[in-house]
Amino acid sequence: MAPSHVLKCCQRVLAWVPVVFIALVVAWSYYAYVVELCVFTISSTAEKVVYLVIFHLSFVMFVWSYGKTIFTSPASPSNEFCLSKADKEQYEKEERPESQQEILRRAAKDLPIYTTTASRAIRYCDRCQLIKPDRCHHCSACDICVLKMDHHCPWVNNCVGFSNYKFFLLFLMYSLLYCLFVAATVLQYFIKFWTVSSKNELPDTHAKFHVLFLFFVAAMFFISILSLFSYHCWLVGKNRSTIETFRAPTFRNGPDKNGFSLGCSKNLREVFGDEKKYWLLPIFTSLGDGCNFPTRLVIMDPEQVTVSSQNEPAKSSGANQPFPPTRPLSESQNRLLASDSQWVESGPEDENVKSGTKKHIIVSLES
């Protein structure tokens, strides 16, 4: 036990190395820009003031969003997704997977779950001993189940998920703007330092090396962050996580990468919230609780659920495991769906319900 404990402690310490590296680079960039460039190199007072004001605004927002991404704990499923003591004991005693799944289906019948494994089984975490909510995954690095997990980021030493995904996006955006501003304002002095001319009035001091490296570092980080930020902007527009891009969630009608997409504007609101004045601030404003999400595949009312559930045994009597029952939408889900009556056409829907078919409602993704 002792060597294992020491190994875990070493892993935790080493996990902070990337964060410390970024912190040191940011601290050096602050010194190089403020002291070496603005104080010792730029002679115009007006130019100094303008550069310093804009630089500090971008620097504060960058550090603020980065800190929130690092120190916001990943959100975990609530206690309602944990098995009761009796179910847990029965689950551990059972050896057959079919019997275990029966216990899980019984425990999950009142939970807002719409996705399963590829084999139509209830998604259960043996490590955390709980039924996984939709879009929830177990992180081996954090050793917990994380709500709407996107990925584990070594550069923030934290899981990026429901609780800090907005902060992560803002961190990418402000770091991009920070690098762009630094590279753009340093460029002219970068060129002057490299230009050999008798008219060059810049002092040939150690500031030269700080300015040269500052431009290279800012440009390099800008290029690398731009691709990552663009990718996550695309994910937000599609309402997908990184995990869901490579492994689509499985609904009643099979895998569907766009199952949680409600249209670009609503996908943005789900991450950034209803009030646009808070969108650019690292303040938590995401909609919902992270345990259940609106989906374009399940937006039927209770009466329709009752009718459709009567026809379910005819289809679920095959080899596949029964899918969790369709439940009415929660209040947080309706916040995104209630305003769009045009999404569901009553005629075709009524025909589908009356005929007892299991065709899901196809929702227009154009908002």
What is the rounded distance in angstroms from the CA atom of residue 256 to the CA atom of residue 17? Answer: 38
Of 143, 173, 103, 153, nearest to 321 by C-alpha is: 103
Please list the active-site residues: 153
Q: What is the enclosing helix (H) or strand (E) of 144?
A: strand 144-146
d(CA 184, CA 214): 11
Cα 297 to Cα 68, 257, 258, 267, 364: the distances in Å are: 33, 12, 9, 15, 11
> Tokens 């895998």 belong to which residue?
255
Cβ atoms 123, 243 nearer than 8 A: no
Nearest C-alpha neighbor of 228 from the set 236, 216, 218: 236
Count of H helices and E strands in the chain? 12, 8
For 160, the enclosing helix (H) or strand (E) is: strand 158-160
List all residues 6 or more positions away from 86 whose beta carbon is below 8 Å from its beta carbon. none
Q: How far is CA 35 from each of CA 94, 155, 265, 306, rounded to the nearest angstrom?
A: 68, 27, 43, 70
Eight-state DSSP code of residue 205: S
The one-letter code for the residue type at 254 is: G
| Rounded Cα distance, 119 and 319, in Å | 10
